[in-house]
Structure 1
Amino acid sequence: MTSPTSDTFTINGDRLWQSLMDLADIGAYDDERTGLRGVNRLALTDADAAGRRQVIAWMEQAGLAVRVDRMGNIYGRREGTDPAAAPVLTGSHIDSVATAGAFDGCLGVLGGIEVVRTLDERGITTRRPIEVAVFTEEEGVRFGTDMLGSAVAAGRLTLRSARALTDRDGLTLGAELARTGFDGPTDVRLAPPHAYVECHIEQGPVLADHDVEIGVVTGVQGISWQKITLHGRAAHAGTTPTRLRADAGLAAAQIVVRLRALVDSGEYGDLRATVGHLVVHPGLTNIVPARAELTVDLRNPDDVQMTRAEEALAAFLRELEGGGPGLSVTTRQMARTAHVPFDEGVQKVVAQAADDHGLAHISLLSGAGHDAQEIAALCPTAMIFVRGEYGGISHNPREYSTPQACAHGVDVLATTLVRLADQD
């Protein structure tokens, strides 16, 4: 391992860790399954709003000029010597799933603020401004579309369609922005930054398997989310012969099994398929289900293979619908993003920063979606992955990266941002 070079920047790891733990207190809950303390900060809930206010306070304490756009995206700006130059952007999200840990998304936001604190303390100025972003509804859990705030900022989705999205209680995103006070005044379309770099926990086991601390992310695989609703016919469980049933619950189970068969066949590349939500109605022991609702999450690094897998699923749904009287199928595409390769030039800056800090690294593709894949449509983009413990488990209270791993990841982020911000 080499020693850090003179133009590297080392942040205050203890202060970063304290920020992570303080933010984790907002929306905290005791998880009965794990016996651990988790985080529940769904987008634009009261807990998320409280977390946003805390992050804004930290931004302002660090001297950042804060603005909020019409999607509730938050930006904190540190001026450079050339305020007309396009900024270098960093950040992530602080909204969570309902059973989260302290690190997903939060490391990128709080790491960005910590970089600014470090530069201020060392009296470092950069040619280009540096901005720290907090994007709205990255998880997609509440309003059904992931990377939502960054997708609107980058122009893939319209502001009108995003604000009209509803949660399971029928509340619109626009109304919740207004209720929580984050219906900001500024334009949501983001002017192209000079570059974007996002620091994030890996959420997987690859870095630990290679015994390295840093991942230089080459891109994000394609993601397809669908909601499938199966309409059958309620019937008495004891008096209705099997051949006369239109069992929506059985059809849902068949879909789950067929998805696994598509994966195991190897015919669709490195396909991954997950049914993360499945509910049947009326949900009573002695009644054949009249309706079933499920979500399908497909992931694939190859866009052609992803399309083939989607077509195979659609063909199976047609088979189900035609297999007997009384069963019908409706589908809705919740989200669809293609494989996004990241900029090789920014990847090289990240890799060089890791080398200069004496940190071992590998290049890898992200299996999860991130705001970076949306911002990549606007400017050269890359990500820094930080190693996780316990197999890299995430979206779970057991999610954990050590204080040292978090600090090292943000050291690489700091050095990367300064070098990019000093580019012509």
Structure 2
Amino acid sequence: MTLADEQARTAALLDRLAAIGADPPGITRHAFDERENAAHALAIAEAARLGFEVTRDAATNLYLTWPGTDRAAPRILLGSHFDSVRHGGNFDGAAGVLAALAAVSTLRAEGFAPRADITIAAFRCEEAVWFGLGLIGSRAALGMLPPDALDRRRADTGLTLAEHIARCGGDPAAIAPGRRLSPAGPIRCFLEAHIEQAPSLIEAGLPLAICTGIPGNIRHAAIRITGEHAHVGLPRRFRHDAALAGADLFTALDALWTGEEAAGRAMAFTIGRFHTDTTKHEITVVAGDFTLSLDLRAYDATHLAALEQRLHAIVAEVATRRGVTIDLGPRNAAPVGPCDPALQASLAAAASRIGITTMPLGSPASHDAANFAAAGIPTGLLLIRNANGSHNPREAVDPADLMAAAATFAEWLRAEAAA
């Protein structure tokens, strides 16, 4: 079995995943639902082919384990996720699970024997679009799920996260903060491969990057601005315009980003929802209600905390100036995920030994790997070149680049995990 054989097998699996998720104009693999279940079934079939052990935890995260010669040794954990955003692409998350499968399949065909267990994980519900909270599966696996998470409802079904987990065969009653669900015993490290969600590798002309860190984020999914509905002819000095207050927030945050970027402090913010109340808005009505969402992120915990303070100052200033009230609503946060320096070096060396040129690069996006890093588990992340961005139907990964990630993992395991 060669890597070329694995490339053909992986391409066929990607085609089957695309068929599972087909939702023109893109791909939708709903979290904790039939399509994510079907993706897990594909991975289970691969585990059966390879003779690996298959287990699930109470949150229905999937673990495929190649037993080592020393079952008590700290396991090596690799993985990513299968769910997608609505009408997204076929590679976000799935490429990481398939790269790990291709790596271990190659090693098994070579007759490689691992000393410790090697486990491939497919975590549930990485995308925040489903329950307004991201990285749910890996948070649950590590005992990091917020106490209110199980009561969150999926917007399209109206069912709670607990109900969805139970429908998939899980046990929501066993999920609690501080209770680890992932496979028993120590974890030596967690490795993930993920498509890059910016064009940095396209720009650099390289197939892979060794990630240096994953940003933490603060999210407010439903910021509510309340002013006063009024006649279109009302003079400016009498208005309490919620829409203009929303615009002020947007432009103030953009000015903040511009200043931080000029000072060399990496950050980003995204406003994905930005709208008046569709049941009340009219062309001749000053908007008294406005709703927006906010994702604020940075690579350093202290910097992120300072940015949140700036956010609150901006909110207070806009509310006073526009004569409105601004309710930020529920706050969610994901930790900053620094990648382990030793793993960065050894992954880069593994790639170099097989002729793959890489570069160091911070991830612009959150990943399950961030939770492992925050839990104190050494974490490494490979970023795979991807054209046309992510979270859209035009995601485009060259199969050779995906195999470069698989080959790098395989070479790393040869050097680090032999019996």
Query: Does TM, scored on the shorter chain, surpass 0.5?
Result: yes
The answer to whether the 8 A contact 1:11-1:414 is kept is no
Query: Which residue matches 1:168?
Result: 155
Asked if the contact 1:273/1:299 (under 8 Å) is kept, the reply is: yes
Measured after TM superposition, the shift of residue 126 of structure 1 is: 0.7
Aligned: 1:122 with 2:94: no
Between 121-130 and 100-109, the greater mean CA deviation after superposition:
121-130
Distance 1:164 1:329 in 2: 25
Query: Within the alignment, does 1:306 sit opposite 2:294 as a pair?
Result: no
Checking the alignment, whether the CA contact within 8 Å between 1:152 and 1:162 is kept in structure 2 is: no
Matches of 2:303 and 2:108, distance apart in 1 = 48
Q: What amino acid sits opposite 1:411 in the alignment? A: A
Partner of 1:394: 390
Number of the residue aligned with 2:352: 355
Q: 1:236 to 1:70 in 2, by over 3 A?
A: farther
Per-residue CA deviations over 1:333-387 (Å, capped at 9, x if unaligned) read: 5432343221122222211110111011111111111111111224211011111
Give 1:185-264 correspondences, 5 Å limit.
188-190=180-182, 191=184, 192-227=186-221, 228-238=223-233, 240-264=234-258
In structure 2, the residue corresponding to 1:296 is in which secondary structure? strand
Q: How does 1:23-422 map to 2 (within 5 A)?
A: 23-31=17-25, 38-158=26-146, 160-168=147-155, 170-183=158-171, 188-190=180-182, 191=184, 192-227=186-221, 228-238=223-233, 240-266=234-260, 269-281=265-277, 282-325=280-323, 327-376=324-373, 377-390=375-388, 393-422=389-418
Cα distance change, pair 378–74 in 1 and its aligned pair in 2 (3 A): farther
Normalised TM-score (structure 1): 0.88
Are residues 407 and 368 of structure 1, via their aligned partners in 2, closer, same or farther at CA, if it must alter by over 3 Å? same
Distance 2:292 2:43 in 1: 35
Deviation at residue 199 of structure 1 after TM alignment: 1.2
Separation (CA, whole Å) in 1 of partners of 2:291 and 2:154: 15
Amino acid aligned to 1:251: A
What's the C-alpha RMSD, in Å, of the aligned pairs?
2.4
Distance 1:18 1:334 in 2: 41
**What code does the residue aligned with 2:392 have?**
N
Once the two structures are TM-superposed, the CA of residue 104 in structure 1 deviates from its matched residue by 0.9
Distance 1:335 1:422, change over 3 A: farther
Cα distance in 2 for residues equivalent to 1:276 and 1:324? 22
Shift, 1:307, TM fit: 2.2
Change (3 A) 1:298 1:11: farther
Contact 2:60 2:168 in 1 (8 A): no
- 1:195–1:380: 8 Å Cα contact kept in structure 2? yes
Structure 2: gaps spanning 5 or more residues? none
Question: Structure 1, residues 143-173: CA drift from partner, whole Å, max 9, x if none?
Answer: 1111122122223334x43322222354211
Q: Which residue identity does 2:229 align to in structure 1?
A: A
For residues 312 and 60 of structure 1, the distance between their equivalents in structure 2, rounded to whole angstroms, comes to 52
- CA change 1:382–1:10 in 2 (3 A) is farther
Whether the aligned pair in 1 keeps the contact of 2:335 and 2:371 (CA below 8 Å) is: no
Structure 1 pair 402–102 and aligned structure 2 pair: CA distance change class (3 A): same
Distance in 2 of aligned mates of 1:148 and 1:420: 30
* Preserved CA contact (<8 Å) 1:197 1:417: no
Does the 8 A contact of 1:78 with 1:130 survive in 2?
A: yes
- Are the structure 2 counterparts of residues 285 and 171 from structure 1 closer, same or farther at C-alpha, using a change threshold of 3 Å? farther
The 2-side partners of 1:253 and 1:259 are apart by 10
AA aligned to 2:333 is: R
Q: TM-score, normalised by structure 2?
A: 0.89
Deviation at 1:241, TM superposition (A): 4.1
Match of 1:18 in 2: 12
Name stretches of at least 5 consecutive residues in structure 1 with no aligned partner.
1-7, 32-37
For 2:62 and 2:376, locate their aligned partners in 1 and report how far apart those are by CA, in whole Å. 18
